[in-house]
Amino acid sequence: MNTLSKQQRERRRLLQVFSALAAQFVQACGPRAVLSGDAGDHDGDVDASASDSGARHPTGLPTLGGAPDTLVGHAIATLCDTVIPGAHRDPTGAPGAVDAGVPALFFDRALPAAALVGLIRTVLDGVASEVGGRAFSRLTVEQRETALQMALDRLPEAEFAVQLVRLGYYASPVAARHLGYPGPNPGYRDDPDFSFGPDPLAREITTGTDGNFP
Amino acid sequence: MPNERVDAVIIGSGYGGTIPATRLAEAGMRRVVVLERGVRKETRELEQSDALAYQTAVVDLVVSSQNIAFRTGKLVGGASIAMDGAMFRVPRRSFERRDGAGRRHWPERYTPEAMAPYYQRVEEMFGVRHFPWSEIPKAGGMFAKMLARADASCDRARMNYGDCLQCGFCAQGCIYNKKHTLLHTYIPRAERAGAVFRTGCDVRTIERSGALWTVRYLEGAEAKAIDADIVFVAGGGLHTPALLLRSRAAGLAGLNAHVGEHFNHNGELQFFGVLPEGFDDLDRYKCYAGMDNAGLMTWHWFESDDFTLHPGGGIEPTVFAAAVQSSTDARLPRKAWGMEFKRWVESVYPHRVMGFSSLGLADSHHAVTIKPDGSPDVVSRPRESYDRYLDRLEARVQEVSRASGVAIIPGYPRRYSGMTSAHLLAACRMSERAEDGVVDPFGQVWGQRNLYLCDASAIPYALGVNPALTISAVAERVVDGIINPASRMS
Ligand SMILES: Cc1cc2nc3c(=O)[nH]c(=O)nc-3n(C[C@H](O)[C@H](O)[C@H](O)COP(=O)(O)OP(=O)(O)OC[C@H]3O[C@@H](n4cnc5c(N)ncnc54)[C@H](O)[C@@H]3O)c2cc1C
Ligand code: SF4
CA of B116 from ligand 2 middle (Å) equals 28
> What stretch of H or E contains A161?
helix A159-170
Give pLDDT tens digits for B228-241.
Answer: 999 999 999 999 99
pTM equals 0.92
CB of B323 within 8 Å of a chain A CB? The answer is yes
Give pLDDT tens digits for B461-490.
Answer: 999 999 999 999 999 999 999 999 999 987
Instruction: For domain B4-315+350-489, give the fold.
Output: FAD/NAD(P)-binding domain (3.50.50)
pLDDT-derived band at A40 (thresholds 50, 70, 90) equals very low
Give pLDDT tens digits for B328-376.
Answer: 888 899 999 999 999 999 999 999 999 999 999 999 999 999 999 999 9
Write the DSSP symbol of residue B75.
B
Minimum-distance ligand 1 atom for the alpha carbon of B243: 41
Alpha-carbon torsion B264, B180, B57, A172, what sign?
A: positive
Q: Crossing angle for the helix pair A159-170 and A141-154, nearest 10 degrees?
A: 120
Give pLDDT tens digits for B265-321.
Answer: 999 988 999 999 999 889 999 999 999 999 999 999 999 999 999 999 999 998 888
d(C-alpha B157, C-alpha A35), whole Å: 35
Taking 3-state DSSP, the helix, strand and coil percentages for chain A, each rounded to the nearest 5, stand at 55, 0, 45
Q: Is the CB of B176 under 6 A from ligand 2?
A: yes
Residue extents of the structural domains in chain A: 6-179
Residue among B382, B359, B358 nearest B261 (CA): B382
**Where does ligand 1 bind, in terms of residues with CB under 6 Å?**
B 11-17, 35-38, 59, 71-75, 78-80, 82-87, 171, 201-203, 234-237, 239, 243, 293, 422-423, 455-456, 466-468, 471
Residue extents of the structural domains in chain B: 4-315+350-489
Q: Which residues of B touch A173 (CB under 8 A)?
A: none
Specify the amino acid at residue A132.
G
d(C-alpha B276, C-alpha B353), whole Å: 10
pLDDT on residue B411: 67
pLDDT-derived band at A46 (thresholds 50, 70, 90) equals very low
Cβ separation B135–A205 shorter than 8 A: no
Residue B5 φ/ψ, nearest 5 degrees: -125, 120
Cis before B311? omega within 30: no
